[in-house]
C-alpha cells in the first residue's frame, strides 16, 4: 500500500467533509487543505485553519500568525493509522507556513471523543477548554463563527437560541523546540476514553476528532 | 365545503390572462426558464400558479414565463381569495420564494439518489435541475487529483482587512489597529 499526502482542492476537501465527517460541514475561514491518497485513491483530508477565535495562541504568548488549529480530519476507510497521517501532514503545513510554532486541536467530549489519535501521536494534553456558548439557529447547533459565516449578521434574534457548548479536550503540538519547552510545563495526564456515548448533538465546531468510520476501527 | 377548500380549487386559465406582480424581486435567467420548460415537458405542469383575485401572480412567475414560451394554452391556477390584505400579499410573494431557499441538502442522501437514478434507470439527470458539474461532483466524477500550493494560501500571514472611511474616503487596514 502506498500513502501520499499532497495539497487538496477546496472541492475535494468539501467532499471529504460532507461525506466522511460527522459534522457534514466545512470549517469557516482560511484553510490549509492536505489531501490523503492510499494506492492513488483519495481517502480524505486533514484541514488546518486559524481557529474559531483570533486569540488561540494568546495563552502561549503567540501571535495569531504563529498558532493554528487542526480543524478537521475527514477520512473514509483507510489502512494507515490516523496519527501517522497527521504527523506527515505537519511537514506540508510547515513548508507552506514556516512561521507557525504551535498547532492546537480539540476533542469534543460531547462526541465521546477523548483524543486517542492525539495521544497516539504524542501531542501534549493541556486540559479541558471552557464550554463556550454556541447558537441554535433554525434548529442547527453552530459555533458563533460558523453562524456568522453561514448567515452573516442577518439572523433574526427570535430564531437564535444561545446554548451551552460542550467541553473539549485541548491538545497541543509544538512545531519548534522553544515553544515545546514552554508548553511541556502545562502537560497533564491524558484523559481516558469515555465509555458512554452521547451523540445527541454533534458539535459543529467539532475540531479534528476522528470520523465516524475511524471511530469504529480505533 | 369549508372556505379553505373553496380557496384550494384549481382552475385552468390561459397564461396570458395572468399579470406579473410589478415589484417581483425574484429574477429568472434564460437558463432557469429552459430548466423549467424541460421540467414541464418531463414531469408535467404539476404545481399550480397562485394568484390574487385580480389574477396578479403571487407565486409562479417563472413557471408562467416558461408556459408562455412553449405556448401552453392553459395552466393550473389557484386564486388565493383569503389573501385580501395587500401587505400580506406582498409578504407572501417574498415568503413563497425565500422560505424554500432556506432549505439545505443532505449531500450524502442526494448523491445516493442521483447514483440510483443513474445506475438503475434511464432517467435523464439533467431534468433534476442540477447541472452537469454538480452531478459529476456528487457522483464521484469530480477531480480528486492533488491541487497546487497556490490554492492553499498561508496561515502565518494575515491578509489585510481594508476598509474605507465613509466620511473621508481614506482607506486603512484594520490589522494595523489590532496590533
Candidate from A44-48, A72-76, A135-139, B5-9 with smallest mean pLDDT: B5-9
Q: Which tens digits make up the pLDDT trace of B125-142?
A: 888 988 887 887 777 666
Q: Do B156 and A100 touch (CB under 8 A)?
A: yes
Query: Would you tell me which residues 113-172 of chain A have a C-beta closer than 8 angstroms to some C-beta of chain B?
Result: 138
Which ipTM did the prediction report?
Answer: 0.72
- A28's grid cell: 469557516
- pTM for the whole structure: 0.58
Contact A46, A71 (CB under 8 A): no
Q: Do B146 and A7 touch (CB under 8 A)?
A: yes
The nearest CA of chain B is from the CA of A31 a distance in Å of: 7
Q: Can you tell me the distance from the alpha carbon of A55 to that of A53, in angstroms, rounded to the nearest whole number? A: 6
Contact A115, A190 (CB under 8 A): yes
- Count how many residues are written for chain B: 179
Which residue did the predictor score with more confidence, A166 or A26? A26
Residues of B in contact with A24 (CB under 8 A): 106-108
Residues of A in contact with B111 (CB under 8 A): 19
Q: Which tens digits make up the pLDDT trace of A160-208?
A: 677 777 788 999 999 999 899 989 988 999 988 766 443 333 343 445 5
Nearest-by-Cβ selection for B142 from A7, A15, A37? A15
Contact B35, B129 (CB under 8 A): yes
**DSSP result, A163-183:** EEPPPEEEEEEESSHHHHHHH
The nearest CA of chain B is from the CA of A192 a distance in Å of: 32
| Residue A198: predicted pLDDT | 39
Q: Taking residues A8-36, what's their average pLDDT? A: 87
- B73's grid cell: 394554452
- B22's grid cell: 410589478
Q: Do B156 and A10 touch (CB under 8 A)?
A: no
From the candidates A7, A35, A54, A146, which should be mutated to test the interface with B, based on the most B CB atoms within 10 A?
Answer: A7
Nearest chain A Cα to B99, which residue? A138
Q: Do A6 and B159 touch (CB under 8 A)?
A: no
Residues of B in contact with A64 (CB under 8 A): 158
From the candidates B102, B108, B144, which should be mutated to test the interface with A, based on the most A CB atoms within 10 A?
Answer: B144
Q: Can you tell me the distance from the alpha carbon of B69 to that of B63, in angstroms, rounded to the nearest whole number? A: 10
Q: Taking residues B35-44, what's their average pLDDT? A: 91
Q: Which tens digits make up the pLDDT trace of B93-115?
A: 999 988 888 877 777 788 888 88
The nearest CA of chain B is from the CA of A99 a distance in Å of: 5
Sheet with B57-59, side-by-side order of all strands: B10-13, B75-79, B49-51, B57-59
Q: Taking residues A67-95, what's their average pLDDT? A: 94
| Residue B3: predicted pLDDT | 52
| Residue A210: predicted pLDDT | 45
Chain B residues contacting A, CB < 8 Å? Answer: 102, 106-108, 111, 137, 142-144, 146-149, 151-159
- A197's grid cell: 456515548
- B138's grid cell: 456528487
Q: Do A15 and B106 touch (CB under 8 A)?
A: no
Q: Can you tell me the distance from the alpha carbon of A41 to that of A49, in angstroms, rounded to the nearest whole number? A: 25
Contact A183, A147 (CB under 8 A): no
Residues of B in contact with A7 (CB under 8 A): 146-149, 151-152
Which position has the grid cell 504527523?
Answer: A87
A55 CB near a chain B CB, below 8 Å? no
Number of other CB atoms surrounding residue B28 within 10 Å:
15
Nearest-by-Cβ selection for A97 from B142, B143, B155? B155
Residue A218, pLDDT above cutoff 60: no
- A134's grid cell: 454556541
Number of H helices, E strands in chain A: 6, 10
Nearest chain B Cα to A40, which residue? B145
Amino acid at each position: 500500500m502506498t500513502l501520499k499526502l499532497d495539497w487538496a482542492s477546496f472541492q475535494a476537501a468539501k467532499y471529504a467533509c460532507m461525506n466522511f465527517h460527522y459534522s457534514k460541514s466545512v470549517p469557516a475561514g482560511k484553510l490549509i487543505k492536505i489531501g490523503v491518497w492510499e494506492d492513488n485513491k483519495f481517502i480524505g483530508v486533514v484541514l488546518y485553519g486559524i481557529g474559531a477565535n483570533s486569540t488561540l495562541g494568546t495563552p502561549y504568548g503567540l501571535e495569531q500568525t504563529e498558532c493554528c488549529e487542526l480543524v478537521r480530519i475527514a477520512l473514509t476507510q483507510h489502512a494507515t493509522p490516523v496519527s501517522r497521517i497527521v504527523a506527515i501532514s505537519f511537514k506540508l503545513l510547515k513548508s507552506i507556513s514556516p512561521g507557525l510554532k504551535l498547532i492546537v486541536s480539540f476533542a469534543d467530549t460531547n462526541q465521546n471523543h477523548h483524543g486517542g489519535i492525539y495521544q497516539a501521536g504524542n501531542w501534549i494534553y493541556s486540559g479541558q477548554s471552557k464550554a463556550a456558548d454556541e447558537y441554535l439557529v433554525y434548529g442547527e447547533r453552530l459555533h458563533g463563527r460558523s453562524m456568522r459565516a453561514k448567515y452573516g449578521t442577518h439572523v433574526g434574534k427570535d430564531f437564535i437560541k444561545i446554548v451551552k457548548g460542550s467541553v473539549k479536550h485541548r491538545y497541543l503540538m509544538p512545531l519548534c523546540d522553544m515553544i515545546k519547552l514552554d508548553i511541556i510545563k502545562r502537560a497533564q495526564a491524558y484523559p481516558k476514553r469515555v465509555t458512554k456515548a452521547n451523540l445527541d448533538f454533534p458539535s459543529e465546531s467539532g475540531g479534528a476528532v476522528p470520523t465516524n468510520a475511524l471511530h469504529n476501527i480505533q | 365545503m369549508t372556505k379553505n377548500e373553496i380557496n384550494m380549487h384549481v382552475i385552468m386559465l390561459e397564461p396570458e390572462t395572468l399579470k406579473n406582480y410589478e415589484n417581483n424581486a425574484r429574477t429568472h435567467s434564460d437558463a432557469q426558464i429552459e430548466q423549467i420548460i424541460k421540467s414541464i415537458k418531463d414531469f408535467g405542469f404539476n404545481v399550480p400558479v397562485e394568484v390574487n383575485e385580480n389574477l396578479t401572480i403571487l407565486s409562479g412567475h417563472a413557471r408562467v414565463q416558461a408556459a408562455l414560451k412553449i405556448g401552453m394554452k392553459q395552466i393550473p391556477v389557484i386564486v388565493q381569495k383569503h389573501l385580501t390584505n395587500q401587505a400580506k400579499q406582498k409578504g407572501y410573494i417574498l415568503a413563497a420564494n425565500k422560505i424554500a431557499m432556506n432549505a439545505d441538502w443532505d449531500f450524502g442522501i442526494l448523491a445516493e439518489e442521483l447514483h440510483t437514478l443513474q445506475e438503475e434507470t434511464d432517467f435523464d439527470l439533467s431534468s433534476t435541475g442540477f447541472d452537469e458539474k454538480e452531478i459529476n461532483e456528487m457522483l464521484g466524477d469530480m477531480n480528486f487529483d492533488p491541487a497546487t500550493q497556490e490554492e492553499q494560501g498561508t496561515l502565518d500571514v494575515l491578509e489585510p482587512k481594508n476598509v474605507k472611511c465613509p466620511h473621508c474616503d481614506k482607506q486603512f487596514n484594520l490589522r494595523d489597529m489590532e496590533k
